[in-house]
Structure 1
């Protein structure tokens, strides 16, 4: 699983790796499963809502989580601050953070809907980007002046932001990561594997195996602005425990678009840094081993058995990787753990997107979560197209992650 002397790169912009991490935090939070004992999927409590509704941004809304929203200054009479009920908290180039308490335990804690979105600088800046995106939409609606109440304006802004995000997931993120053919098949012919709409959930084949493909795509060292080039994954500039409130604003053009750094290839190799995680003490520190242990703890089927099942359902022959080329020990070439098999499938596209097993699992779950949500654009208005105007001309319906960045006012 070692990446070797030189990791192969894909054609995918590096930013999509961190968009993938953000999506994961939007739909899953498992704090109960164990690597060392057998897990039953029905017993695992997902703390996040299994929908792409941006609850990691909005929390429980203005009334349920008022600490996530802007407070206007006190008035001249010194009365308590009033909740703005419109704008998400920002602090220039950083998230707004709690001040130190007498015990010191809240010092520099980001005031956000999911603390995991402050675990490294890039995903932290992505959270901040989404705050500014929301605030930009709010300001545009305020300029139009067509809403009589703050509540109505806020809910409209939230809908606009969430629907554009969902559109990006389906029509930008997924085609790049699973391939356009798989997305087109699902959107035209429907889902054949993840068909539960009445009570959405996250299948373990997705959370424990297929959606862990991003671990192979991380590349370091990387650059995130002019002052921070060649930074390492777990150093103080980027990783867990990174220094807050420094010159750490991301240059997003280096992550999405023509000048973007490229992500690592989707293959069976992990960066060496992930094979010895510095923050894991007195336990297995290799992320590869941990992923394999987790799959075993849920009794996941082999990649070959899932491949065979998918062929029977689709009624077509699906490409499969030549497992003999990966030099796997024992009988793993014939009964490959699902996570590892999905990584090996990347060889079918030269590492540029997932193969059929991984692609169908990832795409059907994400599309299914959006389709089954009555508040999503697919659930309530499937003929909707992105309505935000960005710099440059766009064909109808064309809206990518880079367009969110172009549209957003980072002073909003």
Structure 2
């Protein structure tokens, strides 16, 4: 089935036209317009949406759109990214009683028979599981391999997302223990299934009642929940629509901040109660999303020193009979590797040495000695690089990075709102996300973990525009479709070139050529000052997500038990109404079982 045929089966109307051709020059102008790698922005904030929801959105994306899934596959919101293929196939479950978390053992007196074996193949194994320090299991913590042992490896791409994944792992473990404490007949597979159902339903509740209203507004969520689908035919089995996956749900890239404030230790009550921001700085650190241009100077200088130092090591072996490379050759090859691969990491350099340079040395009794010296030098320089960044007041936020328990300290009040009722647990506000607008944080223009085409905005423009055969519809066509069925809020202005120029004079192309992703960003920026999505972007996201949940006949509370409410026992101590259950309640319940 071709692209247009697929869309005809699931769209309730057919857009009449698609955006005009986007030339290479247009793309380059748009990327510069969106900020570029040298841009700087921490000014356009979205005070309505705390920064943590940016990463909850990324977590939802990875759950709904698995790495191998295409538009024609069945999307779900069943926490597959958390549970994977179950304990029979996944190593991150507890398979031995000795792997059961220590805090479960402390609650042994609550269990019938005083045994912990009921939790085998039910709980998750974690490297650390403490109230403010958590980490998933790692492939190795003694070498340079820190790959996560989880179902969805993408959830370790950055520190905040990794910590959020740990929150859900801890929530699962806490719910399992809570269930068994209240029904001691629940064991083994039955306990796992009961736990999964509660965890999934509370996760879905947060999506429907907190995440979506913040992103698209309560009115639109209520309309769609009442059956007011205008774009998609929700009576059919849900599919992943390209307007959602390739455009609308990429708006989170606009909300990403370049630098985040993190705690470095627990903040004393006196600071919390008598909050003055300069005092709070004593207890915080800054983490940069990914290395930017300024950090590149540090990184490149470090790599250059490694290259020059290693060439001296080769000099030691230059007189050995059979050596096929001179010290200068080694240095030249290292420099060439640095020039040809601007995103080269220190781990990449180590791999290059191992695979490309060291094999050129003749077999000798001393070869292992040389390898050890080279690798030690690389590891020491890596530590020096991290120290140099810390000296600048920055910590690298990339995933799969070796972190100490001190580095892993997390206080979620910096990312979700603990000030609002019913929590009121902190006197300092959470960091805001960036506004949903056309500006993108500089680090996203140069992502090191992408081997080629490492500009995320460029990928987004390309994905949401497509080629002549699979181009997404114009945003204006989708807007007109809503207007024709009276599905727009009263007095909604038409987004056209005149309105865009009034608000954004330097817009480099006509709106007629704008990829759908950019149209959705502009719509939010101009109609809602970047605080929430406009009618087109908001409806695409609300309809796609609620379509998935309302048609899931196996694991969605909206389908199986639409009148269900969250468990009162899972509420924060100040929250008395299950209808107000949100991400803060989930986090705090998880922590309560760890202390």
TM over 0.5: yes
Give the match for residue 13 of structure 1: 50
Give the drift of 1:396.
Answer: 4.3
Name the SS for the 1:94 alignment partner.
strand
| 2:520 is aligned with 1:350 | no
Deviates more, 1:201-210 or 1:300-309: 300-309
Give the match for residue 171 of structure 2: 133
Provide the rounded CA distance (Å) in 1 between the counterparts of 2:474 and 2:154. Answer: 30
8 Å Cα contact 1:69-1:83 kept in structure 2:
no
Unaligned runs of 5+ in 1: 34-40, 76-80
| 2:565 is aligned with 1:385 | yes
8 Å Cα contact 2:437-2:530 kept in structure 1:
yes
Q: Residues 149 and 94 from structure 1, CA distance in 2 versus in 1: closer, same or farther, beyond 3 angstroms?
A: closer
| 2:539 is aligned with 1:360 | yes
Give the match for residue 82 of structure 2: 57
Deviates more, 1:270-279 or 1:299-308: 270-279
Provide the rounded CA distance (Å) in 2 between the counterparts of 1:158 and 1:369. Answer: 18
Q: Residues 5 and 214 from structure 1, CA distance in 2 versus in 1: closer, same or farther, beyond 3 angstroms?
A: closer
Name the SS for the 2:56 alignment partner.
helix
Give the drift of 1:251.
Answer: 1.2
Provide the rounded CA distance (Å) in 2 between the counterparts of 1:278 and 1:99. Answer: 22
TM-score w.r.t. length of structure 2: 0.61
Give the drift of 1:53.
Answer: 0.2
Name the SS for the 1:359 alignment partner.
helix
Name the SS for the 1:256 alignment partner.
coil
Provide the rounded CA distance (Å) in 2 between the counterparts of 1:27 and 1:233. Answer: 24
Give the match for residue 97 of structure 1: 138
Coordinate RMSD, CA, aligned:
2.6
Which residues of 2 match residues 5-404 of structure 1 at below 5 A?
5-11=41-47, 12-31=49-68, 42=72, 50-63=75-88, 65-73=89-97, 84-92=120-128, 93-99=134-140, 107-226=145-264, 229-235=285-291, 237-247=396-406, 248-257=408-417, 258=419, 259-281=429-451, 283-297=452-466, 298-314=470-486, 316=488, 318-321=492-495, 322-324=499-501, 325-326=503-504, 327-330=506-509, 332-347=510-525, 348-374=527-553, 375-389=555-569, 390=571, 391-404=573-586
Provide the rounded CA distance (Å) in 1 between the counterparts of 2:43 and 2:455. Answer: 18
Provide the rounded CA distance (Å) in 2 between the counterparts of 1:152 and 1:404. Answer: 22
8 Å Cα contact 2:212-2:542 kept in structure 1:
yes
Give the drift of 1:395.
Answer: 2.6
The structure whose Rg is larger is: 2
Deviates more, 1:352-361 or 1:228-237: 228-237
Give the drift of 1:293.
Answer: 1.1
Give the drift of 1:121.
Answer: 1.0
8 Å Cα contact 1:14-1:260 kept in structure 2:
yes
Unaligned runs of 5+ in 2: 1-33, 100-116, 129-133, 266-283, 292-394, 420-428
Give the drift of 1:67.
Answer: 1.3
Give the drift of 1:302.
Answer: 1.4
Provide the rounded CA distance (Å) in 1 between the counterparts of 2:537 and 2:552. Answer: 23
8 Å Cα contact 1:210-1:362 kept in structure 2:
yes
Give the drift of 1:279.
Answer: 3.8
8 Å Cα contact 1:99-1:108 kept in structure 2:
yes
Name the SS for the 1:285 alignment partner.
coil
Give the match for residue 408 of structure 1: 590
Tell me the alpha carbon deviations over residues 150-183 of structure 1, each in whole angstroms, 9 at most, x when there is no partner: 2212111111110000000000001111111211
Give the drift of 1:287.
Answer: 2.1
Name the SS for the 1:62 alignment partner.
coil
8 Å Cα contact 1:66-1:83 kept in structure 2:
no
Provide the rounded CA distance (Å) in 2 between the counterparts of 1:408 and 1:90. Answer: 14
Tell me the alpha carbon deviations over residues 230-268 of structure 1, each in whole angstroms, 9 at most, x when there is no partner: 211114631244334442132111111133111000111
Tell me the alpha carbon deviations over residues 94-113 of structure 1, each in whole angstroms, 9 at most, x when there is no partner: 10122379xx89x3322211
Give the drift of 1:185.
Answer: 1.3
Give the drift of 1:312.
Answer: 2.1
Give the drift of 1:314.
Answer: 4.0
TM-score w.r.t. length of structure 1: 0.87
Provide the rounded CA distance (Å) in 1 between the counterparts of 2:416 and 2:41. Answer: 26
Give the match for residue 37 of structure 1: none
Provide the rounded CA distance (Å) in 2 between the counterparts of 1:5 and 1:400. Answer: 30
Give the match for residue 38 of structure 1: none
Name the SS for the 1:109 alignment partner.
coil
Q: Residues 367 and 285 from structure 1, CA distance in 2 versus in 1: closer, same or farther, beyond 3 angstroms?
A: same
Give the drift of 1:89.
Answer: 1.7
